[in-house]
Chain A
Amino acid sequence: MRQDVMPAVKSFILEKFLPGEDPQLLTPTTELMRSGILDSLATLELVTFLEQRFGIELEAHELGGKLNSLAEIERLVQAKLPTA
């Protein structure tokens, strides 16, 4: 069951971590971890959001390099969502 993941994640990140930033500047390929937007605590907050919003369960080893951009997050979440 595919859901529109990216807009929800984008607005979450903008609201929580980048208040006041121009939404157009946060693109699907913006590096979230390398740029410091997502640090360890923010990653945990994002994980909680993804799990609650999309009803999925993430594992610790998936956090290392799979949340570095909106595109990667979408790919990870879509892979976890149950297929229709």
Chain B
Amino acid sequence: MATESRVTTLNAPSRPIGLRLEGVLRFALLLAGLGLALLVIQQFHLENRTFFYVAALAAGGFAVHALLPLAYRLPFFVALSVTGFALAFSLADAAWLIGIGLVLIALCHLPIRFSLRVALIVIVGTLLAFARVRAIATPIGGAVWPILGSIFMFRLVLYLHALKHGEVEPNVARTLAYFFMLPNVSFALFPVVDYSTFRRNYYDQDAWSIYETGLSWIVRGLFQLLLYRLVYLNFALESSEVQRLGDLVQYVVTTFLLYLRVSGQFHLVVGLLCLFGFRLPETHHLYFLSSSFTDFWRRINIYWKDFMMKLVYYPSFFSLRRRGNRRAIVLATAAVFAVTWVLHSYQWFWLRGGFPITTPDVLFWGILGAFMIFTSLSESDRGRTRVTARRSWNVRLGLRTVAMFCTLAILWSLWSAESIVEWMWMWRAGTIASASEIAILIGLVFVGIALAGWPWGAPNLRSGDRIPLYQNQTLRTFVTLSFLVLISLPAVREMAPQSLRDLVTSLQNPGLSSADAALRVRGYYEQMDQRGALNGQALWQEMGQKPSTWTELATDNMLETHNDFLVTSLKPSYSFVWNGKLTSTNSWGMRDREYSLQKSPDTYRIAILGPSLTMGNGVNDSEVFDNVLEERLARERIPSGKRVEVLNFGVNGYALPQQVALLEQRVFAFRPDVVVITESPYFREGISRYLQRLLWDGNPIPYPELKAILEKGGLYPMDTTGVAIPFASLRRLASVAGIDSRMTWHESRARIQAASQEIARWSTRRMSAEIRAHGAVPVLLAIAPADPLPRYSDRWIGEFGTDAGLIPFNLLHLYDGQDLSAFRVAPWDNHPNALGHRMIADALYKELRLHAADLGIDVGNDQL
């Protein structure tokens, strides 16, 4: 294009920068800023390791690219991007990705009719979709699909649109640069970049300004990712944690705030592209400060909005406007939201391999679309007052913005919910509130109105005005980067109070939040929902690394299922190699060496019950902590004059009620001196998962007290036939109408969650009493997977330990202050590895010695 090349030549620094002092200075500042940004990524372990390499490659590439003559820059960017792909993938996978991409691009340019080209691309796309779900066998690695999808699923449509309207110039390097953009290597969730904008805005302004904007967006992205982590690790709640009004507000607000991750990533992507001359527009604009639904649509994911406007809204409106503008607006808006909903699922198909269509998803897009139609018609009739920077603080704007934030946060929480029932169930907590909670909430609303009343980020037509020093882009970039680097230094953090220090330390933790850790415990990570897809991306990323050969423990290998209260147990005398680790059971169905049922008088027996953490998922037989402990006690002749035996009764997935049954059915027969009950802060998840299965399978419950708790919670007897209808009142209505109804699966889960505390209390008290009645000492071993601990992780120990008459051994803080990845079986498996088990054994050894008198252990003269 003649115009474009003229602009490009005028603005790009095509001369060597050494000739201009200002250029040298700005170049040096940019390099320094990128260096600091890399330091921040490194210090805070932001995103994944690939991202650090890509960022480093981009920074180095920028240093060369900016010095090249203009004609060489696009080819250099393409070469850099291809290098990035080769570094991030195996050579074979990189070749597949680029090869498939080249075929798709070539199809766009075939010298045949446009409609035939589109048809061919649809056919190839369909074949690729079959390969994506492995319906067609290919040697393509699993990591290729999300990136291939993110590159082509929308950009190909925009490229074809540009081709159709003659906006594609015959420039191979530009086309390759458009599809194989360097940041794509590490970000599967990628903004929908418009080809026409990508082409038109290339070096269309002063190059140094474009680079500086890029750096400032990178810094903004990093800052948003850190804010996301702050919220994600410290404030986000799981729906089962919502117990009162304060929790409910916290859940709703933080769920919305978790979107910071997406906007942070998009800022990074576009910022990196700006470093190579692509002056792309802002992707998000202060979306938490939207003052109406249409305003929100304009501010959040702007690229998606533009994509929908271009391909759906305007074409729909133009084809319908003969029937009247109002009707055309309604139908075009409805079409946008229907298509957005479908394409959202289409996007997750390429990223995750599934096509999620859930009720919350349908409701979210439906409600948002309805509000958008209503607001659009209202604005169409009455007009919209533009908020420009010349306006001062305005209470009406503050009220509207706070009201909109609350509405959107509630809608977002609905979208993130696993089910409507679970979401509605959570709102019951809103009725439980103290006066101080209400006062704090009112205070927060007033603060919100005071802040939101200013026209933040409103268009400023006075572009020639002098910018105040605090708004200077370069200054803000360096102040932010320096601040982040400083707080990442331990010496600086030491000066802060403990609570603040903990918060800052959490920013350097790339692990899972308690909510996602609970999801993992619940076993939901295999079928991630919207929340998992959008928000729990740390979990998603970890799961993405899991090789397809990695297996779960199942009935076709070591687990047996029963139609009784235990539901499952380990097969006796079974041995197999599980994910590379020798996993065996003895003749009693224990993951342990062989023991005789009879206990000799000179033997001191410790029986340990618990879930997978006790059973030792992910380590070899000899590495499980009970064996390590037994060896050490034997070596050190503790208890004095006795032979020690540590019996492992752990079974994968065992919840507290199962431990009750196992204890009574099997453990007491071995006449243990000490019985250790193992549980983690995720006891609710264990109980919920177990009871769901027990109740829905209709297995008998031999404990009247437990039956009474379940009956009180509306869970027993469980009717599993009839039409699933949520809420007891609706089921009563259905019954009047003669419809045979039953509880929904989600409602039963919510009800079990609500009763789980009482069930855990009953389980521990019963076990404590039974163990003492059998002459043994009961111990509660509190242990957790190698994940960041949830809030209030220690609270339950008092209630289920000391209060229930058990001696608590609190090993929850075993990994405090250490790199958790060193103690995990794998990035996608948070069970302790061999090193973790050795730490558990050492800690247990210390606890045994500490409580030697209570446990009746004679440690000889070597008292602590």
Contact residues in B for A30 (Cβ distance below 8 Å): 461, 463
**Interface check B294, CB cutoff 8 A:** yes
Contact pick for B309, options A18, A40, A48, CB 8 Å: A40
Contact residues in B for A39 (Cβ distance below 8 Å): 294, 298, 384
**Interface check A4, CB cutoff 8 A:** no
| CB-based contact A60/B314 at 8 Å | yes
Q: How far is the CA of A61 from the CA of B298 in the complex (A)?
A: 19
Contact residues in B for A36 (Cβ distance below 8 Å): 285, 298, 386, 458-459
Contact residues in B for A16 (Cβ distance below 8 Å): 383
- What is the CB-to-nearest-CB distance from B455 to chain A, in angstroms, rounded to a whole number? 11
A18 to B, closest residue via Cβ: B386
| CB-based contact B194/A34 at 8 Å | no
Contact residues in A for B298 (Cβ distance below 8 Å): 36, 39
Q: Kindly identify, within residues 31 to 53 of chain A, every residue whose CB is under 8 Å from any CB belonging to chain B.
A: 34-37, 39-42, 44, 48
Q: How far is the CA of A17 from the CA of B282 in the complex (A)?
A: 22
Contact residues in A for B285 (Cβ distance below 8 Å): 36
| CB-based contact A64/B388 at 8 Å | no
With A40-B313, A41-B380 as known contacts, state yes or no: A65 contacts B386, CB within 8 Å: no
| CB-based contact A26/B461 at 8 Å | yes
B376 to A, closest residue via Cβ: A41
| CB-based contact A34/B282 at 8 Å | yes
Q: How far is the CA of A63 from the CA of B379 in the complex (A)?
A: 20
B375 to A, closest residue via Cβ: A41
- What is the CB-to-nearest-CB distance from B461 to chain A, in angstroms, rounded to a whole number? 4
Q: How far is the CA of A44 from the CA of B461 in the complex (A)?
A: 22
Q: How far is the CA of A33 from the CA of B126 in the complex (A)?
A: 36
**Interface check B325, CB cutoff 8 A:** yes
Digitize B301-318: 1 where CB-to-A-CB distance is under 8 Å, 0 elsewhere.
000001001100111011
> By DSSP majority rule, is chain B's interface helix, strand, loop, or mixed?
helix
> By DSSP majority rule, is chain A's interface helix, strand, loop, or mixed?
loop
A57 to B, closest residue via Cβ: B318
| CB-based contact B318/A65 at 8 Å | no
| CB-based contact A65/B383 at 8 Å | no
Q: How far is the CA of A83 from the CA of B94 in the complex (A)?
A: 53
**Interface check B45, CB cutoff 8 A:** no
Q: Kindly identify, within residues 456 to 505 of chain B, every residue whose CB is under 8 Å from any CB belonging to chain A.
A: 458-459, 461-463
Contact residues in A for B383 (Cβ distance below 8 Å): 16
- What is the CB-to-nearest-CB distance from B451 to chain A, in angstroms, rounded to a whole number? 20
A32 to B, closest residue via Cβ: B459
| CB-based contact A64/B310 at 8 Å | yes
| CB-based contact A63/B314 at 8 Å | yes
Contact residues in A for B282 (Cβ distance below 8 Å): 34
- What is the CB-to-nearest-CB distance from A13 to chain B, in angstroms, rounded to a whole number? 10
- What is the CB-to-nearest-CB distance from A37 to chain B, in angstroms, rounded to a whole number? 6
**Interface check B329, CB cutoff 8 A:** yes
Q: How far is the CA of A44 from the CA of B376 in the complex (A)?
A: 12
Total chain B interface residues with beta-carbon distance under 8 A: 34
Contact pick for A64, options B281, B309, B317, B329, CB 8 Å: B309
A48 to B, closest residue via Cβ: B325
Contact residues in B for A44 (Cβ distance below 8 Å): 317, 325, 329
With A25-B462, A41-B329, A59-B318 as known contacts, state yes or no: A65 contacts B384, CB within 8 Å: no
Q: How far is the CA of A41 from the CA of B462 in the complex (A)?
A: 24
Q: How far is the CA of A44 from the CA of B196 in the complex (A)?
A: 20
Contact residues in B for A65 (Cβ distance below 8 Å): 194, 196-197, 200
With A59-B318, A63-B314, A64-B309 as known contacts, state yes or no: A41 contacts B461, CB within 8 Å: no
**Interface check B161, CB cutoff 8 A:** yes
| CB-based contact A37/B194 at 8 Å | no
- What is the CB-to-nearest-CB distance from A63 to chain B, in angstroms, rounded to a whole number? 5
**Interface check B165, CB cutoff 8 A:** yes
Contact residues in A for B386 (Cβ distance below 8 Å): 17-18, 36-37
Contact residues in A for B165 (Cβ distance below 8 Å): 61
Q: How far is the CA of A59 from the CA of B282 in the complex (A)?
A: 26
Q: Kindly identify, within residues 271 to 323 of chain B, every residue whose CB is under 8 Å from any CB belonging to chain A.
A: 281-282, 285, 294, 298, 306, 309-310, 313-315, 317-318
- What is the CB-to-nearest-CB distance from A28 to chain B, in angstroms, rounded to a whole number? 13
Contact pick for A18, options B306, B314, B317, B388, CB 8 Å: B388
Q: How far is the CA of A47 from the CA of B279 in the complex (A)?
A: 27
Contact residues in A for B390 (Cβ distance below 8 Å): 21
| CB-based contact B461/A22 at 8 Å | yes
Contact pick for B310, options A22, A34, A37, A61, CB 8 Å: A61
A17 to B, closest residue via Cβ: B386
Q: Kindly identify, within residues 162 to 217 of chain B, every residue whose CB is under 8 Å from any CB belonging to chain A.
A: 165, 194, 196-197, 200
Q: How far is the CA of A40 from the CA of B295 in the complex (A)?
A: 11
- What is the CB-to-nearest-CB distance from A36 to chain B, in angstroms, rounded to a whole number? 5
With A18-B386, A41-B376 as known contacts, state yes or no: A64 contacts B196, CB within 8 Å: yes
- What is the CB-to-nearest-CB distance from A53 to chain B, in angstroms, rounded to a whole number? 17
Contact residues in A for B200 (Cβ distance below 8 Å): 65
B309 to A, closest residue via Cβ: A40
Contact residues in B for A26 (Cβ distance below 8 Å): 461
Q: How far is the CA of A41 from the CA of B383 in the complex (A)?
A: 9
Contact pick for B306, options A17, A35, A59, A64, CB 8 Å: A64
| CB-based contact A60/B318 at 8 Å | yes
Contact pick for B461, options A25, A42, A59, CB 8 Å: A25
- What is the CB-to-nearest-CB distance from B339 to chain A, in angstroms, rounded to a whole number? 15
A22 to B, closest residue via Cβ: B461
- What is the CB-to-nearest-CB distance from A47 to chain B, in angstroms, rounded to a whole number? 9
A63 to B, closest residue via Cβ: B314
Query: Chain B residues in contact with chain A, CB under 8 A?
Result: 161, 165, 194, 196-197, 200, 281-282, 285, 294, 298, 306, 309-310, 313-315, 317-318, 325, 329, 376, 379-380, 383-384, 386, 388, 390, 458-459, 461-463
Q: What are 25 A-B pairs with beta-carbon distances under 8 A?
A: A17-B384, A18-B386, A21-B388, A36-B298, A36-B386, A36-B458, A39-B294, A39-B298, A40-B376, A41-B294, A41-B376, A41-B379, A41-B384, A44-B317, A44-B325, A59-B318, A60-B315, A60-B317, A61-B161, A61-B165, A61-B310, A63-B310, A64-B196, A64-B306, A64-B310
Given A36-B285, A65-B196, output 15 extra A-B contacts at Cβ < 8 Å: A16-B383, A25-B461, A30-B461, A36-B298, A36-B458, A41-B294, A41-B376, A41-B379, A41-B380, A44-B317, A60-B317, A61-B161, A63-B310, A64-B310, A64-B314
Query: Chain A residues in contact with chain B, CB under 8 A?
Result: 16-18, 21-22, 25-26, 30, 34-37, 39-42, 44, 48, 59-61, 63-65
10 shortest interchain CB distances as A-B pairs: A35-B459, A25-B461, A60-B314, A60-B318, A60-B315, A64-B310, A63-B314, A61-B165, A65-B196, A36-B459
